[in-house]
Each structure stands twice: as C-alpha cells, then as structure tokens.
Chains A and B, each alone.
Chain A
Amino acid sequence: MLEIRGLRASVQGTEILHGVDLTIRAGEVHAIMGPNGSGKSTLAQVLAGHPAYTVTGGTVTYEGKDLLGLAPEERAREGVFLAFQYPVEIKGITNAYFLRSALNAIRKHRGLEELDPIDFIGVLEEKAKAVELGDEMMNRPVNDGFSGGEKKRNEILQMAVLEPRLAILDETDSGLDIDALKTVANAVNRLRRPDNATLIVTHYQRLLNYITPDFVHVLADGRIVKSGGKELAHELEARGYDWLRPEAAAV
C-alpha cells in the first residue's frame, strides 16, 4: 500500500531524513521508534504533506499513486489520516460540524452522498460505540480547552469516523496516563481491518504493549537502521538506542 524509497526531507534548510526506505502492506501495523531528533515526527508530517517540510529526494508511492505529488487535502481524501501529536484548537466551530464537513469532503471525493446533520449523528454514534469512545466532546469547539488525553481521544474518534486506509499516529501516546493509553489503544485495535494499515510513531515501547505491531523499525539519524518483529521493541526498552549506533554508521 505504501512504498517509501530513499526519502530525503529538510526543514528550514536542515536535512532531517537522509534516505528512508519503508514498505507497508494492507492489514499491517508498523511501529517506528527512535531517539529524539531522529526524524520520526518529520516522517509522519512529510507523509501528510505539511508545508514546513521540503522533500529533497526519493519517492513515496501510495496505492500506486505518487503521494508527494498530491496536495494535503487530496491525500486525506485518498484515505491518509494523521493523528497529530499536538492537535490544534479551532474556536468557533464544534467538533461535530468540523467532522461532518471533513467526512462530506471525503464522501464527495468517493462519489458518495453528503450527510446532513441528522444522518451524521447516527454515523457518529455508531462509530463511537464501535471503538468504545464517548462522543460527549462533539458539541465543544474543536480541541478548545481540551486536556491532552481528550485531544488524543478526539483524534482517534475522528479516525473512526473518517475510516482511513492509512492511519499515521504521531506520538499518540505522549502525555497520556495508563488509562487514557488503554482507551486509545483499544480504539485503534478495533479499527484494524485487512484492507487498512497503521503506522505508529512512538518514543516509548509502552503503547506497543497494547497495540501489537507486525513490524518495528528504528529510525536514527534520519534513516531506518534496523527492522524486526515486535520483540525488537522489548529489546530497545531494555538496551536503549546506543547499541544501534555503530550499525547506523555502517548503513
């Protein structure tokens, strides 16, 4: 579904990604771990199309299409979803209105009929129930005055409603306590399907206790230096990242 080859990207003139290679197939859950400054969030943002980052080399093919050639909103309509690390606030618009507008933009792209507010509430309730997240946040302005946990839950609820093909979770676990973590992980697990895929960017192994990845990759100094199964996460937890450094230098 997603094929990244030799991806290089920089921000404000500094190159952060020095040639990333990664393949993700439908039905898979991949985790990307790595030390601070390795470029994990950069990778997530570049895949979503954040304007602050410039791609300086490499290709990204998504479902046979050139992802880098699509505008951010086009990528979203094609089914790419980014759960932000720091979801932004938008006052004056309720979550319900925002999410319905987003869903309708995506539905329109897929040739489906747009939903009116009443039909939307039905869909929302159904999805919220399926992932066991409450929908009490829906009438509040988007992320306005939300706690860290509420913002992350809101991201996942949006994900449930928009039904992406490729979901990228950017440090969704940061700032969450154990209970919030379990709730979010439970929701993500319930959204797994054979035809979608998830890329989890995380700093700590903890989240991976609750969401079992198929593949774990380590991103260090702008490149993927090691890949493995879920055991790799435990090894990193025990040994840290330094033991990979000589291997990184060799790559």
Chain B
Amino acid sequence: MTSIESQVLQPYKYGFVTDIDSDTVPPGLNEDVIRLISAKKGEPAFLLEWRLKAYRHWLTMKEPRWANVTYVGIDYQAIRYYSSPKQQKKWDSLDQVDPKLLETFEKLGIPLGEQKRLTGVAVDAVFDSVSVGTTFKETLAKEGIIFCSFSDAVREHPDLIEKYLGTVVPSSDNFFAALNAAVFSDGSFAYIPKGVRCPMELSTYFRINASSTGQFERTLIVAEEGSYVSYLEGCSAPMRDENQLHAAVVELVALDHAEIKYSTVQNWYPGDAEGKGGIYNFVTKRGICAGRASKISWTQVETGSAITWKYPGCILQGDDSIGEFYSVAVTAGRQQADTGTKMIHIGKNTKSTIVSKGISAGRGQNTYRGQVKILKGATGARNYSQCDSMLIGDQCGAHTFPYIDVRNSTATMEHEASTSKIGEDQIFYCKQRGLSAEDAVSMIVNGFCKEVFRELPMEFAVEAQNLLGISLEGSVG
C-alpha cells in the first residue's frame, strides 16, 4: 500500500442513534399508508388527492437503472414510510421540545436552545420525517417572510402550497419524484415577499434516526419579485448496516429580479469500508427562473452517502435569467456518485455557469453528468462549464458525461475539463518543505475546491472545508 492510502479510516462522527420513542408506521406501501400519513398530518383534501394521483402513477413506472452506479435493488415494501418522534403535544417554544432531541441536534453542531442557537441563521430541524422546530420564525414574520416546516405551511398557507407545489418537479417527472410526491413527510417551506431581502440565512437540518425508514422530504422556496434569500441544507444519519433511501424533492421558484441561493452540505452516512450500509441519496432538485433577470444558484458539497444521484438544475425561462451550479463531490471508501446538473435555456440572453469538482479516493467512483440544453428561442444564450476531477490513489475512478444540445446558432458555449492526481511525489515535496501529509493533502484539495467553497455562505464554508478533511482522512496518509 502506498503511503497515501495507508492510514486507518476515521469513523463517521455522526453515526450515533438517538434512543427515543417513535411513532412508526409498519413497513410497506399502499393507498392506506398514504391516507394514514395524510391523516396524521391533518392535510386538506387537495393534497391527499395529489398524493394518491402520484402513487397511482408511480405504480406504472419502472425504477431507472441507467446511472453509473451499482447497487442492490430496493425493496419498496420493506421500507417504513413514516416515523416521527413521539411528542406529547405541539410545542409553542423550542425549549419545550424533548431534551433528547435538542441534545441530538446539539451533538450535530446545531444547537436549538435559546442561549446557544446560531445567530444570523434561522434553523428548521427535521428529525426523521418530522420538523422538530424552527428558530426565528417570529423575527422573520415581521418582514412578511414565511419560514416553517412544510407540514406547517400546508396547514397555515394552503393556498401558496396549492399554487406552487409540483410546478417545478411534477410527480410524473421521474420514478423517485413520483414516490416522493406520494409519501413525502416533511421539509421546509420559505416564502419571501416582493422586494424583501431575507435578513438571515435560512437553513434546514435533516437527521435520519429510525431504522428501515426512508426519508422523503419536500422543500419549496418561493421568491417574489425583487426578493433575495440564501438557504442552506445540512444532513446526517446514523451508522447502520442496511441501506436507507433518501428520495427528496426540492422546488425553487424565482420571479422577476429575484434571487435564490441554495447551498447543501451533505454528510449522510457513507457506508463502511466494505461498502456495507450507507444512505442512497436519490434526489430531484430543480429551480425555475420564471421571472425576468431572476437568478438561482446551487452550491453543493457532497461528502457522504453510499450513493449520490442528483442533478440540481435550472430552467432559465425568464429573459436575462441566470443559473449557476457549483459542486464538490467526494467519493472515498466505496462510495459512488453520479451527479451533475441540467441547465435548460428557454428565454433570451440567459446565462448558465457550471463548476464541478469531483474528488475520488479509495475505491470511490465519481461521475459527472451534465446537460446543457439551448432551445430554439433562446437567442444569445451563454454557458460556461468546467469539470475537474482529482484522483487520490490508484483504485478510484472519475467519469464525465457532458450532454450538450444546442438549437440556436447565437449561443456561446465554453467547456473545460481536467483530471489531476495527487501523487506520492507531490506529497513528498510538501513533506520536504516541513508539511505533514495531512496538511499537504488538505492544502491541495482545498486549492482544488476553492472556486466552489467561495460560493458557500461564510458560516458554512469553514464547516465544508472541515468536512472535506474528515471525509478524506481515511484515504491519504
């Protein structure tokens, strides 16, 4: 083994299980389970109908297997589709939440208690399928901003939900989106009124806890004309031998001159060194730049999951709209990733930027799949794509599948790609100058990722860098 690969794997820090009473539905999926979920949440009739329609459509669909990843099939009847921590009543204040839950989030670095909550960041904490609480709701409400759990939004703002739900990712979009539409549990909802610049970061932290459950969140963010919001999603899960499915759907809607910045720092349990266990992260995320000069940026740092399969994309419908995708995806151990983006240019003078950094180590397999589609009416469209891969050690792989479909001759496309390796020679050079191997790798990898880290909200850039260091610790020595 080379010195690069000889260090012992550092254990996943968030692999603990919270011992708490949970209200869980037995495994299996049928119309009754869906009615049960909807009833538990006290949903209006339109939503139950929407779920059932999605479920019936899902039954006609086949699970797609075209991604460049290998996994044992999922038994959909063995999954529990609902689990929520038992709470005696609906809490008015976060301080009344079950202390074990508060402790869990504190251990994860997301303190919810009054004294220690992150200032400048409003947090919606989701434990298994249920939102445990949201901080700063009242402060935000003063500006007319709605930030709450999806379930609360369904009860308190059904009109908004009915207007926008499924308009960006319809249930029929794909197999996992249909499944999500049928059984989605919770997630976040944010609505920013006209002309308002959201004064703080909005963030949701998802924690999977119960075993044999799937997590199907649904997030919807709507930014009215001239508004701005920066949103961050974080996640982790316990270490288990089984694989758990995480099939979320995120929909973003940006109207005229509005901007949504959506950042994800994903650290789901990646499975052990043999590839056993770990989360299957199959998500559909899409934003529509519906308005003129609207802008949506996706920034993701994906370090966890056994398998990551997602293509956050933008539909650039409004003239002069802008879509951006910045990604760092790490596959170490035996992780696999097939991720990238879709940029669909429809309006005039639209612009998209893609910067994808893939890091493979151990036996990780990292695939970038990107689609840039310029439709006939998209005059003056511009796209810049850059895909860089870094290989650490000689057992991993990096693959790139760019799809470029241009139907307007005034479009400008630029595509750059590079592959590099961290070699023993580079590590030795750094060591000979006094740097340890860990510092050398960290420096080289951070240099590689800096264009993406620059796009993260300041509070989370440091966390992302640390996470990257931790994820790679097992692979380099």
Interface 1/0 per residue, B199-214 and A, CB below 8 Å: 0000000000000000
A51-B428 in contact (CB<8A): yes
B432-A48 in contact (CB<8A): yes
A90 to B421, CA, bound (A): 10
A220 to B269, CA, bound (A): 57
**Nearest CB in chain A: distance from B392 CB, A:** 14
Does chain B have a CB within 8 A of A202? Answer: no
A48 to B434, CA, bound (A): 11
Given contacts A90-B429, A105-B439, contact A73 B434 (CB under 8 A): yes
B447-A92 in contact (CB<8A): yes
Does chain A have a CB within 8 A of B426? Answer: yes
Given contacts A88-B425, A101-B439, contact A93 B444 (CB under 8 A): yes
Given contacts A51-B428, A88-B429, A90-B429, contact A106 B434 (CB under 8 A): yes
Does chain B have a CB within 8 A of A206? Answer: no
A70 to B64, CA, bound (A): 54
A90 to B430, CA, bound (A): 10
**Nearest CB in chain A: distance from B306 CB, A:** 28
Does chain A have a CB within 8 A of B417? Answer: no
Does chain B have a CB within 8 A of A82? Answer: yes
Does chain B have a CB within 8 A of A172? Answer: no
Task: Using C-beta atoms within 8 Å of the partner chain, give the interface range for chain B.
Answer: 20 to 34
Does chain B have a CB within 8 A of A84? Answer: yes
Does chain B have a CB within 8 A of A245? Answer: no
A105-B434 in contact (CB<8A): yes
Which of B425, B429, B443 has a CB less than 8 Å from the CB of A101? B443
- B432 to chain A: which residues have CB within 8 Å? 48-49, 72-73, 75-76, 81-82, 84
- A226 to chain B: which residues have CB within 8 Å? none
- B447 to chain A: which residues have CB within 8 Å? 90-93, 97, 141
Does chain A have a CB within 8 A of B157? Answer: no
Does chain A have a CB within 8 A of B3? Answer: yes
B426-A76 in contact (CB<8A): no
B434-A88 in contact (CB<8A): no
B448-A162 in contact (CB<8A): no
Which of A87, A91, A109 has a CB less than 8 Å from the CB of B429? A87
Interface 1/0 per residue, A86-118 and B, CB below 8 Å: 011111110001110111011001000000000
**Nearest CB in chain B: distance from A60 CB, A:** 16
B444-A102 in contact (CB<8A): no
Interface 1/0 per residue, B440-477 and A, CB below 8 Å: 00011001101000000000000000000000000000
Which of A73, A84, A91 has a CB less than 8 Å from the CB of B420? A91
Output the residue of A84, A87, A98 with the most chain B CB within 10 A.
A98
Does chain A have a CB within 8 A of B31? Answer: no
Given contacts A76-B433, A101-B435, A109-B434, contact A92 B448 (CB under 8 A): yes
- B276 to chain A: which residues have CB within 8 Å? none
Does chain B have a CB within 8 A of A77? Answer: yes
Task: Using C-beta atoms within 8 Å of the partner chain, give the interface range for chain A.
Answer: 20 to 34
- B443 to chain A: which residues have CB within 8 Å? 93, 97-98, 101
Does chain B have a CB within 8 A of A71? Answer: yes
A77 to B433, CA, bound (A): 8
- B437 to chain A: which residues have CB within 8 Å? 73
B433-A162 in contact (CB<8A): yes
Interface residues of B in 401-423 (CB under 8 A from A): 420, 423
- B433 to chain A: which residues have CB within 8 Å? 76, 98-99, 102, 105, 158, 162
Output the residue of A82, A91, A158 with the most chain B CB within 10 A.
A91
- A88 to chain B: which residues have CB within 8 Å? 423, 425-426, 429
Does chain A have a CB within 8 A of B96? Answer: no
Does chain B have a CB within 8 A of A193? Answer: no
Interface residues of A in 7-48 (CB under 8 A from B): 48
A90 to B426, CA, bound (A): 7
Does chain B have a CB within 8 A of A50? Answer: yes
A91 to B443, CA, bound (A): 11
Given contacts A50-B428, A72-B428, A88-B425, contact A102 B434 (CB under 8 A): yes
**Nearest CB in chain A: distance from B168 CB, A:** 35
State the 9 A-B residue pairs at the shortest beta-carbon distance, nearest first: A92-B447, A102-B433, A105-B434, A93-B447, A76-B434, A72-B431, A73-B431, A106-B434, A88-B425
A-B contact pairs, 26 of them (CB 8 A): A48-B432, A51-B3, A51-B424, A71-B431, A72-B431, A72-B432, A73-B434, A73-B435, A73-B436, A76-B432, A76-B434, A81-B432, A82-B432, A84-B429, A88-B423, A88-B429, A89-B426, A90-B426, A90-B429, A91-B448, A92-B450, A93-B444, A97-B447, A101-B435, A102-B435, A103-B434
Q: Which residues of B contact A (CB under 8 A)?
A: 3, 420, 423-426, 428-437, 439, 443-444, 447-448, 450
Q: Which residues of A contact B (CB under 8 A)?
A: 48-52, 71-73, 75-77, 81-82, 84, 87-93, 97-99, 101-103, 105-106, 109, 141, 158, 162
Known: A98-B430, A141-B447. 19 other contacts (CB 8 A): A49-B432, A51-B428, A73-B431, A73-B434, A75-B432, A76-B432, A76-B433, A76-B434, A77-B434, A81-B432, A82-B432, A84-B432, A88-B425, A90-B426, A99-B433, A101-B435, A102-B435, A158-B433, A162-B433
